[in-house]
Structure 1
Amino acid sequence: MLLWSVLLFSAVVSSGYGDDSEWREVKTFQGTVRGRKDPEGGLYGFYSIPYATAPRGKDRYKEALPGSVWLQTLDAVDKRIICWQAKTKYINVENQTMQEDCLHVNVFVPDTEKKKLPVIVLVHGGGFSIGYGNMMTTKQLVKEKKVIAVTFNYRLGVQGFLCLGTKDVPGNAGLKDQVALLKWVKKNIARFGGNPDDVTISGGSAGSLSVSLLMLSNAAKGLFHKVIPESGASVSSIAVQIDPLENAKTFAKRLNFTDVDDFHALKEFYKTTPLESLMLDVITPQKDVSMLFSACVERKTGGPVFLTENPLNIIKKGNYKKLPVLFGISNMEGSMYVDYFETWKNEMNEKFSDFLPIDLQFENEEEKEEVARRLKQFYFGPHPVNNQNILAYVEYFSDALMGYPTYRTAKLQVESGNKQVYLYEYAFVDESFPVVPHTSVRGASHCGQTMAVFDGIAFVTDDESSLSPEFKKMKTTMRELWHNFIVHGKPVPEGSPFPAWPAADANGNPHMSLDRTLELRGPFLDKRMQLWDDIYDKYYREPVSPPEPPPEKHTEL
């Protein structure tokens, strides 16, 4: 197999695309690309550049190969190519083309002659199973703050996160794609006017989990310099698969494959089934706060690795590069579970222990039920889960899903020597936001802070003209804070008009409340975190690597 393919692209006649002033050429190490000025001005967009090549067929789960090269100028226009994924209600993919080789990068460059501009690489979210690089844009940040923004696709779902612990299915392909992208940025971004020694990685949801994990991976060391995880932490029940082989079996059963206990038959099923047939919706929230496909602790098989140790242990040992981190959540992360309230409230009253996070383990059922009773009492008091305490339901899932993992990850990082962790809770709500059912209360939903930094209204439109004055002001504030961090490594540098924002200590103190006004507060989520700390100190369950595969059976002739 050729590692490098040479693609011949015909030069585009300028008269068909407007005058030459609308275009800017950049000579990358793969070939020359030509980006076009944005219709609204202020920046140039370079779309659909192949930063790596996704292996196909039976090699589809391996590390990506180098990107293609080309001899004639490539017009870097949006080809709308995305990685294979299930069609869900969350993201509209009707105008996109799914394909196996989908590893494309987009670069947004401000209209300036300045060089060595700071760079922000944005990792998209979507539960490691849906999404694509350009589903949300950052043009305002690029134009207003003169930074270069990079978005990209990475392999998703089965294609990106099946983890069997073999040479051909080692695991973490999607995260290795992210490393390949960062290497591409390191090598090429100076040619776009960016500074390869001033790169910030940022992401919301699964993108947040990704950048938290990239910070701990030796494979990504030295490729970035600041980190902004937005609603998602590396020490979390959804960040790393507790038992990847069991997950592979569970998913195969959903696809009507029954011979799941024959390891080699299971592997062959995943390698030979057409990729589009493996795309089931796995983004649905789970009672045990888990995901089927996420990172895994890899078994060493002789090839490149992303993660070979539990993130918690890496942080405790201090075996990672201590970088500035702007780290936080929105105040109603659990509102994403509201759609399941009418069903789950009854089930929580019948057996609350079914809703404990998957990364807790117990010696017996009595111990498990006691912890469940303790948590239910803390959040709901003596009352059953009902319409009157739906806000407690939201708070429980906010803490289990995002709040406590964020606190715990920050605490461990500070204890291991990172003195540059800045904590926040995003709390801004606009009158246009929906209320929580059975209440008149509004809250910032999952990744509310990400929505504020990105353009327009996420997934709907880039147009901000119809937003309320309050929302526009909040977006301006958030972009200023994020830009400060991208440039200075702290959200409020000296001389800033914002309130002083010191780094947090091991108790999560202080943290900033990001609302219409910024308010520095004490320990992050305080007593709620102390409760979870006590439980996890006693009952934490570590993720495991896939076991060594059994020897293949050979049929005698």
Structure 2
Amino acid sequence: MLLWTLILLSAVVSSFGDEAEWREVKTFQGTVRGRRDPEGGLYGFYSIPYATAPRGADRFKEALPGPVWLQTLDAVDKRIICWQAKTKYINVENQTMHEDCLHVNVFVPDTEEKKLPVIVIVHGGGFAIGYGNMMPIKQLVKEKKVIAVTFNYRLGVQGFLCLGTNDVPGNAGLKDQVALLKWVKKNIARFGGNPDDVTISGGSAGSISVNLLMLSNSAKGLFHKVIPESGASVSSIAVQIDPLANAKAFAKRLNFTEVDDFHALKAFYKTTPLEELMLDVISPVKDISNLFSACVERKTGSSVFLTDSPINIIKQGKYKKLPVLFGISNMEGSIYVDYFETWKNEMNEKFSKFLPIDLQFENEEEKDEIARRVKQFYFGPHPVNNQNILAYVEYFSDVLMGYPTFRTAKLQVESGNNQIYLYEYAFADESFPAVPHTDVRGAPHCGQTTAVFDGIVFVSNDESALSPAFKRMKTTMRELWHNFIVHGKPVPEGSPFPAWPAADASGNPHMSLDRVLELRGPFLDKRMQLWDDIYDKYYREPMSPPEPPPEKHTEL
């Protein structure tokens, strides 16, 4: 098998193109050859296999070491991505889905400088869709002389099924991320990067991931600064409340009926072809939950990524305190606008259906009372209707991203981390669509991420057609992010930007990132106080999968 792998990898070596267009790097697996970007300014090394995804009965286990090769590997984009459902959110038509998909891309500025700062980007997509190279970040590499790393990790069922057994322990996708960071630690100096100056960043599920990596003992020492963008480890979408119940629910959607027979359920997932397990699970749900995300693992014979709930790990201070540049956009909840016409009537009939899944109550009466209190806070005495759709957006912004971000920051500060820099990104270009029934525009989910990346994400990498205001905003965001990557502060001494101190436990201060940068007081203030009061009393911790029942043995 190893020999066949070597032959296959060697076969991709080619000799086309001018040799001056290529740069060779000797990694610990073998030599790779990256090509100069057509627009100049950097070299791209694509589709390097950093680890090997196990297959067959072992498909849910931790990744194996990456392959080795004897001849130079042309590191060109092979467009291999991990198995995922085809959705409206990203276009995967030109990509090839493969079970063994653990590839890394490295973007190196065209310079002879060494020990450059490194940014590792974890892609988003609800832990169910996406791939490393879906959002280019070449401008930051060329303008700021940093090395950027993007990569694939296992998704959906393949990456996040969690049954609590040795063969399906959970968190395979997050363990892939740890394997990638170990690869960076070992190899990045050979690309000109500094393994002791690594920043991890990500948007949405990528933001949750980098938050979780901070809390995992398995990732200690592999990075030094963190930029979570629109996603927090203590949110209801970050960690599965009941992994076994989720596994059963998803199997039912696939028409598997023996969900209460644990071993039959496990066999179903282990033997069904992956492509048949790829249903769309990315659409928003009323209780702000996720079928497949991280899980608190049982202690099995496998290596463990997450040993306790994020809340407990942070409260106990059992993690490395690192500089964190942490925030949200001001209209995160706009991703729920497509559901407004359907949900507004349901919210008026039974608002409690829309409370986050990580709240628990003694009975329905208590739940309805909290729902009444929350609905009154956001909508006043009025029903949810077209005239208060902005309150609808604000509600989902808060439960999805705003409060989990505040809560994470608050708990980290209380546990001793005095390097949390909070922000709310609020830039909205005139080209952005207005919220329905209004003429109001805001920054959508992960708006800050797309401002740092190239062009208009998923539309064009060309920034020449952008408005002058949008171009200025992109320049500002890249400068702030670069400052943090280099200095651990978004506004170091001597910067032309307004002073930006670290936040205290009340979320004070935070920076409003808009056409004008403005330092403001407590993060979302009274809205966060509301949810703090509720979560202090009704929070429900995620549980590990229960101990599996003994297997039944048929006597001969």
**Band of TM-score, shorter chain:** over 0.9
What amino acid is the match of 2:371?
A: A
Structure 2 residue aligned with 1:293 = 292
Checking the alignment, whether the CA contact within 8 Å between 1:4 and 1:67 is kept in structure 2 is: no
Report the CA distance between 1:3 and its aligned residue: 12
Checking the alignment, whether the CA contact within 8 Å between 1:211 and 1:227 is kept in structure 2 is: yes
Match of 2:173, SS? helix
1:279-314, CA deviations, whole angstroms, 9 ceiling, x for partnerless residues?
Answer: 000001010001100000000112101001000000
1:129 matched to 2:135? The reply is no
What amino acid is the match of 1:6?
A: L
1:318-339, CA deviations, whole angstroms, 9 ceiling, x for partnerless residues?
Answer: 0000000000000000000000
Instruction: List aligned pairs for 1:498-513, cutoff 5 A.
Output: 498-513=497-512
Normalising by structure 2, report the TM-score.
0.99
1:503-546, CA deviations, whole angstroms, 9 ceiling, x for partnerless residues?
Answer: 00000000000000100000000000000000000000000000
Instruction: List aligned pairs for 1:483-502, cutoff 5 A.
Output: 483-502=482-501
Inter-partner Cα distance in structure 2 for 1:12 and 1:73: 6
Inter-partner Cα distance in structure 2 for 1:486 and 1:125: 20
What amino acid is the match of 2:61?
A: K
1:446 matched to 2:439? The reply is no
Inter-partner Cα distance in structure 1 for 2:499 and 2:511: 9
Structure 2 residue aligned with 1:264 = 263
Checking the alignment, whether the CA contact within 8 Å between 1:251 and 1:292 is kept in structure 2 is: yes
Checking the alignment, whether the CA contact within 8 Å between 1:213 and 1:311 is kept in structure 2 is: yes
**Do the aligned partners of residues 4 and 151 (structure 1) sit closer, same or farther apart at CA in structure 2, a change above 3 Å counting?**
farther
Structure 2 residue aligned with 1:213 = 212
Inter-partner Cα distance in structure 1 for 2:371 and 2:44: 51
**Do the aligned partners of residues 163 and 3 (structure 1) sit closer, same or farther apart at CA in structure 2, a change above 3 Å counting?**
farther
Inter-partner Cα distance in structure 1 for 2:112 and 2:324: 30
Report the CA distance between 1:4 and its aligned residue: 11
Report the CA distance between 1:556 and its aligned residue: 2.0
Structure 2 residue aligned with 1:518 = 517
Structure 1 residue aligned with 2:246 = 247
Instruction: List aligned pairs for 1:409-428, cutoff 5 A.
Output: 409-428=408-427
Instruction: List aligned pairs for 1:352-363, cutoff 5 A.
Output: 352-363=351-362
Specify every segment of 5 or more residues in structure 2 that has no aligned partner in the other structure, as ranges: none
Report the CA distance between 1:6 and its aligned residue: 3.2
1:49-102, CA deviations, whole angstroms, 9 ceiling, x for partnerless residues?
Answer: 000000011110000000010000000000000000000000000000000000
Structure 2 residue aligned with 1:434 = 433
Count, aligned residues: 555
Structure 2 residue aligned with 1:6 = 6
Structure 1 residue aligned with 2:458 = 459
Checking the alignment, whether the CA contact within 8 Å between 2:203 and 2:230 is kept in structure 1 is: yes
1:39 matched to 2:38? The reply is yes
Structure 1 residue aligned with 2:309 = 310
Inter-partner Cα distance in structure 2 for 1:73 and 1:3: 16
Match of 1:215, SS? helix
What amino acid is the match of 1:70?
A: W
Report the CA distance between 1:434 and its aligned residue: 0.3
Checking the alignment, whether the CA contact within 8 Å between 2:386 and 2:437 is kept in structure 1 is: yes
Structure 2 residue aligned with 1:324 = 323
Report the CA distance between 1:12 and its aligned residue: 4.5
What amino acid is the match of 1:427?
A: A
Inter-partner Cα distance in structure 1 for 2:239 and 2:456: 30
Specify every segment of 5 or more residues in structure 1 that has no aligned partner in the other structure, as ranges: none
Inter-partner Cα distance in structure 1 for 2:13 and 2:345: 62
Inter-partner Cα distance in structure 1 for 2:541 and 2:127: 20
Report the CA distance between 1:473 and its aligned residue: 0.5
Report the CA distance between 1:247 and its aligned residue: 0.2
Inter-partner Cα distance in structure 2 for 1:258 and 1:321: 44
**Do the aligned partners of residues 97 and 418 (structure 1) sit closer, same or farther apart at CA in structure 2, a change above 3 Å counting?**
same
Match of 2:437, SS? coil
What amino acid is the match of 2:370?
A: V
Checking the alignment, whether the CA contact within 8 Å between 1:11 and 1:72 is kept in structure 2 is: no
Q: Hey, which bits of structure 1, 4+ residues long, moved more than 4 A?
A: 1-5, 10-13
Checking the alignment, whether the CA contact within 8 Å between 2:14 and 2:74 is kept in structure 1 is: no
Report the CA distance between 1:391 and its aligned residue: 0.3
Instruction: List aligned pairs for 1:523-534, cutoff 5 A.
Output: 523-534=522-533
Report the CA distance between 1:11 and its aligned residue: 7.7
Structure 1 residue aligned with 2:235 = 236
Structure 2 residue aligned with 1:51 = 50
Inter-partner Cα distance in structure 2 for 1:481 and 1:403: 21
Residue identity over aligned pairs, in percent, reads 88
**Do the aligned partners of residues 287 and 179 (structure 1) sit closer, same or farther apart at CA in structure 2, a change above 3 Å counting?**
same
Report the CA distance between 1:20 and its aligned residue: 1.1
Inter-partner Cα distance in structure 2 for 1:156 and 1:235: 20
What amino acid is the match of 1:386?
A: N
CA RMSD of the aligned region, Å?
Answer: 1.1
What amino acid is the match of 2:258?
A: D
What amino acid is the match of 2:55?
A: R
Structure 1 residue aligned with 2:388 = 389
